[in-house]
Amino acid sequence: HSDRILGMIRTAGLQPSARTWNAVIDVWANLENRDDAAARAAETLRQMKASGVEPDSASYDNVLKAFARSPNPNPSLLGDAVEIFREMTSASRTAPTCYIVSEMFRITWRALNRREQRDRRQQFASHILEALKTCIHTQNLRSIDGRGWQPMRKNLIRLIGSEEVADEMLKESGVADIVTQPGGTGSGHRRKRAEEGGASQGGSKRHLSN
């Protein structure tokens, strides 16, 4: 039905808006029992870009949710999800939340949950965290708070099988340095930048008073 609606809009000579495209992607994201839902969501995203409409964070969120809810995840599906995640993190207007990063770890676990696939799980986790570095470097990462941080960290620990290794990976990626605790108390470089800003302002005031 969603594809039919898009067809009717085009037949009428109209251009679907980002909101319309996102609504169609959301339909596929919520069809948890359809084996082709993730592929159809990804194809809708491709059509959206081909039509000249720039995807926003909601576009990527819903596509990745479709992958996370796939009834039969496999390494091929995981590879497609990671590529879309990389695209999301490299775009100027889009960035993942903790929830989406956590979902990426969950997709990886579901697709590669056998004991002998542990090395591949760690490899994919590294790819996911490497993609996040782009967002952190450009300060284009959406809010990371304590409530989202804990499930994300928990899923990574399960994926890697080692709390120590998981924490080291989060530290190396830079994600651990920008997490904020519930209530708005920042840590990492956000807190550091605030302190530096305060010190700078204080220094200016002292200079003006002399």
pTM of the shown model: 0.76
Average pLDDT, the chain: 78
Q: What is the pLDDT of residues 43-72, one digit of tens each?
A: 999 999 998 999 998 999 999 999 999 998
Task: Give the angle subtended at the CA of 186 by the CAs of 88 and 169, to the nearest 5°.
Answer: 55
- The answer to whether the CB of 187 falls within 8 A of the CB of 180 is yes
Considering only residues 86 and 139, tell me which one the structure prediction assigns the higher pLDDT: 86
Q: What is the pLDDT of residues 84-115, one digit of tens each?
A: 999 998 877 787 888 888 999 999 999 998 88
Helix axes of 75-90 and 118-137: crossing angle, nearest 10 degrees: 10
Q: How confident is the model at residue 204 (pLDDT cuts 50, 70, 90)?
A: very low
Q: What is the pLDDT of residues 171-194, one digit of tens each?
A: 888 877 766 544 433 444 443 443
- The answer to whether the CB of 93 falls within 8 A of the CB of 58 is no
For 44, 57, 85, 113, 130, the CA distances from 47, given in Å and listed in that order, are 5, 16, 17, 32, 27
Say yes or no to pLDDT of 210 above 70.
no
